[in-house]
Amino acid sequence: MNSNAIPVSALSPQYKLPTISELTHSNQTLLLGQERVSNAFELLTMTAHQHMYLADYAGVDRLEFIKSLVGIQEKQSYQYLSGNIKRSDLLGQFNEREQNSMAENPIPGALANNHYLFICAESLWKREGLWDLLLDILSKREYKVHSSLAATPLDCKVILVGSSMQYSVNWVEESRFPHLFPILGEMVNELDLNHSSESEYATWLKAVAATVDAELEQSALAPLFQYCARLADHQQRFSLLSAQIGQMLAQAKAYGHSKLISAQSFQYALKQYQQRHNASEMLSAQNFDDKFISLPTDDYMVGQINGLTVLDTVEYCYGEPARITASVHYGDGEVADIERKSELAGNIHAKGMMILSSCLYRIFGKDAPLHLNANIVFEQSYQEIDGDSASLAEYCSLISAITEKPIDQGIAVTGALDQFGHVQAIGGVNEKIEGFYNLCERRGLTGRQGVIIPSSNTQQLNLNHNIIEAIKAGKFHLYGIEHIDEAVELLMNMKAGVPDESNNFPDDSLYGLVQDRLARLAGYQEEESGFFAKLLEKMKFSS
């Protein structure tokens, strides 16, 4: 067994599942992991003339969270305003039907009716006049329903609710904002199992299910835990996106025709969700199957490797392989990024290519310049790519092109490099593995195919059951590496080599072949004499 092979036990998270019937939830259960927000809200209740900004995330059930938050303070009224907010919603208005008594009996607005007023920051920001009016009221600590009426003292705490980015914009562009909203309560979108338990999270899931009028069977916990860990993209973390999870539970409830959600109904809901959103993925798969996109998954080829990419369509993402090729020739040491030159690559990808060049020079160009030029390209790529996760694959294809040693096309590669050759973590590791596996499975698994990933990404593995079974059976393989030398050795079945004191690698090593090729390109090795040179040598007369 290869020492870089990742054990089957690490391919998906393992949890201690609590007994769901023994768990009970309360109004504050949805505040699990939100100590920052709870502490901020408690401070809000104890301070005078200070207001709060609640920074949340898309995917959080805002109304249910606010309900739980206010529940900390018993018998305190609150309201949440969003959408098309009007002046009268805040201040109140006259009852036009009772003209004689309108001055004495105006209809109160949200500022008069509530102890705590939650307002959607984005909705308020879009209405500049209303935004300025609210800041004026908070600054003066009073407001008038009508100019003919006396000012009403402000006896309400205002909590703006929005994104962290909106908070930063408000802080920079509105001079009064830092003074009026000094209290920040920033939510977290995931729960760390190092600080909380599976039982606490299961109780939280039970509370989320209750918001959609559903209950959980014991069997539903395992797939729910796996799904929520996949949302958090970590084996030891769970997602706290209550709205997104609640929507999936509501769909499982509908498919199961029962308030009681089972593992079967939840897994079916996940499957149906994928089918509704994977049209782009299926079209891409068809292009591979029809050979419109050339990408071999077996055989050995020089200067060619299968990299891995992630395509994100906002609400759905999937992985697919990409063929990367490299060619080398005599030159001045430039490693050219064709994607960048054709304006089809972003800045992070360009940075990755520069790091690759630096890494190459660190190993082979310490004492002399490299007399070669290289071109690297994503073949059949017609849209912009970005990120540095292909830099490991690009490095391996370049070494293959220099040494003319073929690469196993059945092994795809993902990983980012630093200047010292260490392989660093990348994003979308599960989607990338699944994308390559699905292609190999459709073509037929050979038993040699697999994926190389950074070892640091192992803690994010949460693979589908069919991939785990294939790896168990030895039909597919997953390797974790920490250094570039491990990758080239796996791909080209040859030792990278260890340099001596003069930085020379053994002749029978992979890097020894690189040095030999570079020396030939530089003209350091003696060339064989031609026919006329030999003839002139014979005709020389000694003096």
Q: Model confidence over 386-440: pLDDT tens digits?
A: 778 989 999 999 999 999 999 999 999 999 999 999 999 999 999 999 999 999 9
Count CB neighbours of 523 within 10 A: 10
- Buried b / exposed e over 481-497, threshold 16 CB at 10 Å, is bbebbbbbbbbbebbbb
State the DSSP H helix or E strand holding residue 238, giving kind and residue range, or none if neither: strand 237-239
Residue 87 to residue 143: CA distance in whole angstroms:
12
What's residue 526's pLDDT? Answer: 46
What's residue 146's pLDDT? Answer: 82
User: Is 423 within 8 Å of 518 (Cβ atoms)?
Assistant: no
What's residue 541's pLDDT? Answer: 47
Identify the band that residue 480 occupies on the pLDDT scale cut at 50, 70 and 90: very high
Residues near 196 by beta carbon (within 8 Å), at least 6 away in sequence: 32, 33
The whole-number average pLDDT for the span 460-467 is: 96
Most confident of 138-152, 277-291, 321-335: 277-291
What's residue 344's pLDDT? Answer: 67
What's residue 542's pLDDT? Answer: 44
What percent of the chain is modeled with pLDDT above 90? 74
Judged by average pLDDT, the poorest of 29-33, 149-153, 182-186, 206-210 is 149-153
Mapping DSSP to helix (H, G, I), strand (E, B) and coil, where does residue 162 land?
strand
Identify the band that residue 57 occupies on the pLDDT scale cut at 50, 70 and 90: very high
What's residue 331's pLDDT? Answer: 80
What's residue 107's pLDDT? Answer: 84
What's residue 535's pLDDT? Answer: 56
The whole-number average pLDDT for the span 48-70 is: 95
The whole-number average pLDDT for the span 109-114 is: 93
Query: Which CATH entry fits the domain spanning 192-277: 1.10.443.10, 3.50.50.60, 1.10.8.60, 1.10.260.30?
Result: 1.10.8.60
State yes or no: pLDDT of 531 exceeds 80.
no
Identify the band that residue 95 occupies on the pLDDT scale cut at 50, 70 and 90: low
Residue 213 to residue 202: CA distance in whole angstroms:
16
Beta bridge partners of 92: 108
The whole-number average pLDDT for the span 218-243 is: 96
Identify the band that residue 272 occupies on the pLDDT scale cut at 50, 70 and 90: very high
The whole-number average pLDDT for the span 256-265 is: 97
More confident residue, 366 or 225: 225
Cα 494 to chain centroid, rounded: 34
CA-to-CA separations, 263 to 227, 464, 535, in angstroms, rounded:
12, 15, 86
What's residue 448's pLDDT? Answer: 94
Catalytic residue of the set 381, 389, 400, 509: 389
Give the CATH fold of the 300-520 domain: Ribosomal Protein S5; domain 2 (3.30.230)
Identify the band that residue 527 occupies on the pLDDT scale cut at 50, 70 and 90: very low
Compute, in degrees rounded to 10, the torsion defined by CA atoms 378, 384, 388, 392: -10
The whole-number average pLDDT for the span 167-174 is: 94
Q: What is the assigned CATH class of domain 34-93+106-186?
A: alpha beta
Identify the band that residue 135 occupies on the pLDDT scale cut at 50, 70 and 90: very high
Say whether pTM exceeds 0.85: yes
Annotated domain spans of the chain: 34-93+106-186, 192-277, 300-520
The whole-number average pLDDT for the span 362-391 is: 83
Exposed / middle / buried, residue 166 (Cβ in 10 Å: 0-12, 13-18, 19+): middle
What's residue 98's pLDDT? Answer: 56
The verdict on whether 389 is a catalytic residue reads yes
Catalytic residue of the set 157, 253, 432, 475: 432
Nearest CA among 187, 186, 185, 189 for reference residue 234? 189
Judged by average pLDDT, the poorest of 107-111, 194-198, 304-308 is 107-111
The verdict on whether 157 is a catalytic residue reads no
Residue 259 to residue 63: CA distance in whole angstroms:
22
The whole-number average pLDDT for the span 350-364 is: 86
What percent of the chain is modeled with pLDDT above 70? 93
Average confidence score pLDDT of the chain: 90
